[in-house]
């Protein structure tokens, strides 16, 4: 026994043995449970689906059969009125009676063709004119042609009597003399005063029609459907062997007492429904048909389980051995490069190991090496993060430094224009405002400043622009309470205000009104800058939106807007975004949204403004 264990350990190293056992346990047990649950659930679903499908087919057929029976009842109702008219005309002139019976004959012909009825037979008093016509009209003395007696009809009243007759001879049909099995809807008028039968009429339907409906409904299945009278006689069936058989009294009693959708009887599930004429429509679902699908399912699951287990055991053997070798190699590699600071780590982790180092396996050695490497990685990670922050700050300052010369160039151009036009007082005032502007911005040396200060810078800029445009510039600032105390990137508003003025003023829009609002969002600050200027053409607006989406800075196009977008989208400066909407010569709206940042998040050294 010891030799076997030693051979087994030699063939499978310690770690691989543990891995192999773990893999087998973690694979075989879940596979067994999943297979058992899958079979149970699938069997239940398959059983329910099969039963539901058969019952649904039976219910749909019930609707068709009931509709066909109601159709015959409707024809009988229509004939009731016609027969009443004919009976009244019998007491009038012969010509009136002839016209009435002719109209009735035409109506019967129409009903036969319209409703696809096999035949309609009207039985009149023997002395009535036309009672021996032989096509549609017959004397009451020949009721035996349909196997009906006067006693069968005397108690009908206004209701119908449904009959089933075998091999009725139909010499009265013009097209043939064949015999057929028929389902008959009967109506009659019994005169209480004279105690005689005034008339009777019968609507005949071929039983083959109903059998065809049953056969079509249950085609390609083992389910059988049939119609039965209250006495148990089968009058139509999808199985010819059941035709004209009589059901057992026990089954008929079960049908009348059943309160559930189906019941089990002699190896079959029976689903029954009562038709409008009181007959039973029965769906016979064999148990073998219901369970047949589950047998296939069980066989499929067993084959799949055995195949999966065989493949799984083989794969586990290969993977466990391969994994053991790989982990051992990885351990040696980590030991060789344990002082290499190139691997990231979020927080120090420890790997549980035995107290006795002699019991260490490859995983334990890997854990020991991993702990040593983490210490070095953690120290270097702090340095990397500090360098990343410094790099981000430098990138921001570079973008900001690019916008200052751009702004200064435009303002100095405006000053030069005023001097050329002889507006020296305006130029002098602009230079004074420009001095105040840069004095304020230089004192606010932080990358993030209060929104209040940013609005003050924006107001100074608007004042300068107003001097350049003959006071045809107006603006309004609306703020929600306290929102001015949040932080914003410096020089966020000025490029948008510059665009409002530079591109908004035109011959159609000589006067510009700018509205600036700041409201609270969902943990964000939302600033909107809108104007009533010339707007942005659709093609240019599409190009600008694409630049904003890609967060690129084009030094030839949309420099100011894209510069602000690049700065404000940084996670260190609000993770913001910019949206632009514009309709030419109606309005342009800039929507700037960024995270709410408190005063302690200012990047750089805070400074006090001295007036």
422 Cβ partners below 8 Å, 6+ apart?
none
pLDDT at residue 529 greater than cutoff 90: yes
pLDDT at residue 340 greater than cutoff 50: no
Dist CA 462 CA 40 (whole Å): 77
Q: What is the mean pLDDT of residues 30-59?
A: 78
Contact between residue 429 and residue 472 where contact means Cβ atoms under 8 Å apart: no
CA 147 to chain centre: 61
Q: Which helix (H) or strand (E) holds 15?
A: helix 14-89
DSSP H helices, 218-286, are 249-257
**3-state class of 597 per DSSP?**
coil
Q: Taking the model in full, what pTM does it have?
A: 0.47
Dist CA 34 CA 28 (whole Å): 10
Of 413, 431, 492, 411, which is closest to residue 457 (Cα–Cα)? 492
Pairwise pLDDT comparison (200 vs 50), residue with the higher score? 200
pLDDT at residue 163 greater than cutoff 50: yes
Contact between residue 474 and residue 512 where contact means Cβ atoms under 8 Å apart: yes
pLDDT of residue 593: 92
Contact between residue 399 and residue 553 where contact means Cβ atoms under 8 Å apart: yes
Per-residue exposure over 77-97, b if at least 16 CB sit within 10 Å of its own CB, e if not: eebeebbeebbebbeeeeeeb
Q: What is the mean pLDDT of residues 48-77?
A: 87
β-bridge partners, 517? 478, 528
Show contacts of 595-598: CB within 8 Å, 24+ apart.
595/523, 595/524, 595/525, 596/486, 596/520, 596/523, 596/524, 596/525, 597/448, 597/486, 597/487, 597/488, 598/486, 598/487
pLDDT at residue 520 greater than cutoff 80: yes
The span from the first CA to the last CA of the chain, in angstroms, equals 96
pLDDT of residue 567: 78
Pairwise pLDDT comparison (394 vs 142), residue with the higher score? 142
Of 588, 584, 565, which is closest to residue 576 (Cα–Cα)? 565
β-bridge partners, 189? 199
pLDDT bin (cut points 50, 70, 90) of residue 34 is: confident
Helix axes 14-89, 2-11, angle to 10 degrees: 80
pLDDT, one tens digit per residue, over 258-314 is 888 888 888 888 988 888 888 898 998 888 877 776 777 777 777 887 787 777 777
Please give the structure tokens belonging to residue 362: 């490859």
389 Cβ partners below 8 Å, 6+ apart?
572
Please give the structure tokens belonging to residue 272: 């029954």
pLDDT of residue 336: 47
Helix axes 424-443, 451-468, angle to 10 degrees: 170
Dist CA 301 CA 74 (whole Å): 55
The residue whose two tokens read 């009443």 is 84
pLDDT of residue 344: 47
DSSP one-letter code for 233: B
Dist CA 60 CA 234 (whole Å): 20
Residue 35's CB: how many other CB atoms inside 10 A? 17
Please give the structure tokens belonging to residue 325: 């070798």
pLDDT at residue 5 greater than cutoff 80: no
Contact between residue 578 and residue 561 where contact means Cβ atoms under 8 Å apart: yes
Q: What is the mean pLDDT of residues 43-70?
A: 84
- Which of these ranges, 174-178, 212-216, 220-224, 448-452, has the smallest mean pLDDT? 174-178
Please give the structure tokens belonging to residue 26: 């973690």
Q: What is the mean pLDDT of residues 104-108?
A: 88
């Amino acid at each position: 026994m010891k030799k076997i264990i030693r051979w087994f350990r030699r063939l499978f190293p310690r770690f691989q043995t543990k891995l192999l056992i773990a893999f087998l346990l973690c694979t075989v047990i879940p596979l067994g449970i999943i297979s058992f649950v899958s079979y149970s659930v699938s069997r239940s679903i398959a059983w329910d689906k099969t039963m539901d499908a058969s019952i649904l087919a039976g219910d749909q057929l019930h609707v068709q059969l009931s509709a066909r029976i109601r159709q015959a009842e409707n024809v009988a109702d229509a004939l009731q009125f016609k027969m009443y008219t004919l009976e009244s005309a019998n007491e009038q002139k012969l010509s009136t009676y002839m016209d009435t019976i002719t109209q009735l004959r035409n109506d019967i012909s129409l009903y036969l063709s319209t409703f696809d009825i096999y035949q309609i037979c009207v039985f009149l008093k023997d002395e009535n004119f036309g009672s021996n016509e032989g096509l549609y009209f017959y004397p009451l003395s020949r009721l035996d042609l349909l196997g009906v007696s006067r006693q069968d009809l005397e108690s009908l009243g206004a209701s119908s009597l449904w009959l089933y007759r075998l091999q009725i001879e139909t010499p009265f049909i013009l097209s043939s003399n064949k015999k057929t099995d028929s389902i008959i809807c009967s109506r009659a008028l019994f005169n209480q005063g004279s105690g005689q039968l005034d008339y009777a009429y019968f609507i005949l339907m071929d039983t083959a029609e109903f059998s065809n409906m049953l056969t079509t409904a249950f085609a390609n299945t083992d389910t059988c459907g049939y119609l039965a009278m209250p006495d148990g006689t089968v009058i139509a069936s999808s199985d010819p062997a059941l035709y004209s058989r009589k059901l057992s009294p026990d089954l008929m009693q079960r049908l009348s007492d059943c309160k559930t959708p189906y019941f089990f009887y002699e190896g079959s599930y029976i689903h029954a429904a009562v038709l409008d004429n009181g007959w039973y429509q029965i769906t016979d679902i064999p148990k073998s048909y219901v369970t047949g699908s589950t047998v296939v399912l069980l066989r499929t699951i067993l084959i799949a389980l055995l195949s999966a287990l065989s493949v799984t055991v083989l794969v586990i053997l290969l993977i466990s051995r391969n994994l053991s070798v790989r982990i051992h190699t990885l351990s040696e590699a980590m030991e060789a490069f344990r002082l290499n600071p190139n691997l990231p780590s979020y927080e120090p982790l420890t790997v549980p190991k035995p107290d006795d180092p002699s019991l260490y396996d490859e995983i334990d050695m890997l854990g020991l090496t991993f702990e040593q490497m983490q210490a070095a990685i953690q120290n270097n990670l702090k340095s990397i993060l500090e360098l990343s922050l410094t790099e981000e700050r430098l990138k921001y300052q570079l973008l900001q430094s690019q916008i200052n010369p751009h702004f200064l160039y435009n303002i100095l151009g405006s000053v030069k224009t005023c001097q050329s036009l002889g507006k020296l007082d305006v130029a002098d005032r602009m230079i004074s405002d420009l001095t105040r502007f840069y004095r304020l911005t230089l004192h606010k040396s932080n990358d993030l400043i209060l929104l209040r200060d940013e609005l003050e810078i924006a107001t100074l800029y608007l004042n300068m622009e107003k001097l350049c445009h003959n006071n045809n510039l107006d603006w309004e600032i609306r703020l929600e309470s306290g929102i001015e105390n949040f932080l914003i990137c410096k020089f966020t508003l000025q490029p948008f205000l510059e665009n409002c003025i530079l591109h908004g003023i035109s011959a159609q829009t000589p006067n510009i009104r700018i509205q600036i609002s700041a409201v609270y969002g969902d943990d964000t600050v939302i600033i909107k800058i809108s104007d009533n200027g010339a707007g942005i053409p659709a093609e240019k607006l599409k190009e600008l939106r694409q630049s904003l989406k890609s967060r690129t800075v084009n030094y030839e196009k949309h420099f100011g807007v894209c510069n602000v977008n690049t700065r404000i989208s940084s996670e260190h400066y609000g993770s913001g975004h910019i949206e632009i909407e514009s309709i030419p010569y109606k309005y342009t709206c800039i929507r700037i949204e960024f995270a709410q940042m408190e005063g302690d998040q200012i990047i750089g050294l805070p400074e006090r403004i001295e007036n």
